[in-house]
Chain A
Amino acid sequence: MPKLHFKYDIDGDDFTRAGEASSKLKQSLKQLGLSPALIRRASIAMYEGEINMVAHADGGVIDVDIDTVAITIVMKDTGKGIEDIAAAMKEGFSTASDEVRQMGFGAGMGLPNMKKHSDYMKVDSTVGVGTTVTMKISIVGE
C-alpha cells in the first residue's frame, strides 16, 4: 500500500457537522480494503476526538497518515486546553455544556474510548494554547 495522507479542517461552530471528517476517513479506509474491525476502531477513535474538538475547543485540523504499519491520526486544536489530563482521561470526567449533552454526548467516555480503540495515544495540552491528540492504530497483524 502506498503512503497516504489526508487533511481535514474541522469547523468549531457547527455541531451538526461534527463527524463529517470521520465519515470521510471511514469511506477512504473502506476503499483501501482494510478489515471492517480495524476501520471501525479508527473511525470511532477519530469521531470521539472530532466531537471533542467541536464540543470543547473551536475546531482545528486533523491529519491522518496511513502506511503499511499504522493509521496515525493527529488532531490539533487551539482551544482552551485541558487543565488536568490524567483527570480528563478518567471514565465519567466531563466538563461538557448542556448543549453538548442534549446532542447525546458528555458522558466523559470519549478519551477513554479513544485510548481503548487505539494502540498508542498521547494527549498534549496547554491551557489557553490548545490540545493535540495523537493516536496510532496498528495495521500490522491485521
Chain B
Amino acid sequence: MTIGEIAKLTNAKVLTGEDLLSKEVLTACGADLMSDVLAYIRNQSVLITGLTNAQTVRTSEMMDIVCIVIVRGKQPAPGMVELAAESGIAVLSTGYSMYTTCGILHNNGLSGGERVIA
C-alpha cells in the first residue's frame, strides 16, 4: 500500500509529505504510548496515533516510521508538522477514530506484521 492510498482510504488530509505519497509501506502499528512504540515495534513503517506532539515525530524518526496518521481530526501541536517535514515523515489527518482507521487499513491489506506475544 502507498502512503497516498492510506490517505485516500481514510479520507485523510495530507498535512505534510506530498512528495512521499507514492512511497510503499508494508506494515503499520497503532499506539498513543511512545514508550510502547520504542519498546515493542519492529519494522512497522506507519504509526496511527492520537498523540500529536514533537515526540511523536522524534519517536517515529528513531523507529524509521515514514508516515504518521493522526486520528479523530486532532490538531497537531505547534511545530509538529514542520518537524515531520524536516525529518522526511508524512503526516496525515483523518476524522476516523483509532479503531476505525486501523480497521480500514487492515481490511485493505496493511498488516500489523508482528509476532504474537504468548
Contacts and interface: CB of A to CB of B under 8 A. Distances in A.
B13 interface: no
A59 B17 CA distance: 32
Contacts of B58: 18-20, 22-23, 47
A47 B62 CA distance: 8
B36 A40 contact: no
Contacts of B79: 16
Contacts of B56: 104
B38 A16 contact: no
Given A104-B51, A105-B55, A107-B39, A44 B62 contact: yes
Contacts, number: 70
B53 A104 contact: yes
Contacts of B63: 40, 44
Interface stretch (B2-10, B27-35, B103-111): B27-35
A58 to B, nearest CB: 18
Nearest to B32: A104
B21 interface: no
Interface in B63-78: 63-64, 77
Given A26-B62, A44-B62, A17 B38 contact: no
Of B32, B55, B77, most buried by chain A (CB within 10 Å of CB) is: B55
Given A26-B61, A40-B62, A107 B36 contact: yes
Contacts of B85: none
A104 B59 contact: yes
Contacts of B98: none
B36 A19 contact: no
Return the 9 tightest CB-CB contacts between A and B, nearest first.
A19-B58, A107-B35, A104-B34, A109-B39, A16-B54, A43-B62, A109-B35, A47-B62, A104-B51
Interface of A: 15-20, 22-23, 26, 36, 40, 43-44, 47-48, 51, 103-110, 112-113
Given A16-B53, A19-B61, 15 more contacts: A16-B54, A22-B62, A23-B62, A26-B61, A26-B62, A47-B58, A104-B59, A105-B34, A105-B55, A107-B36, A108-B35, A109-B35, A109-B39, A110-B38, A112-B39
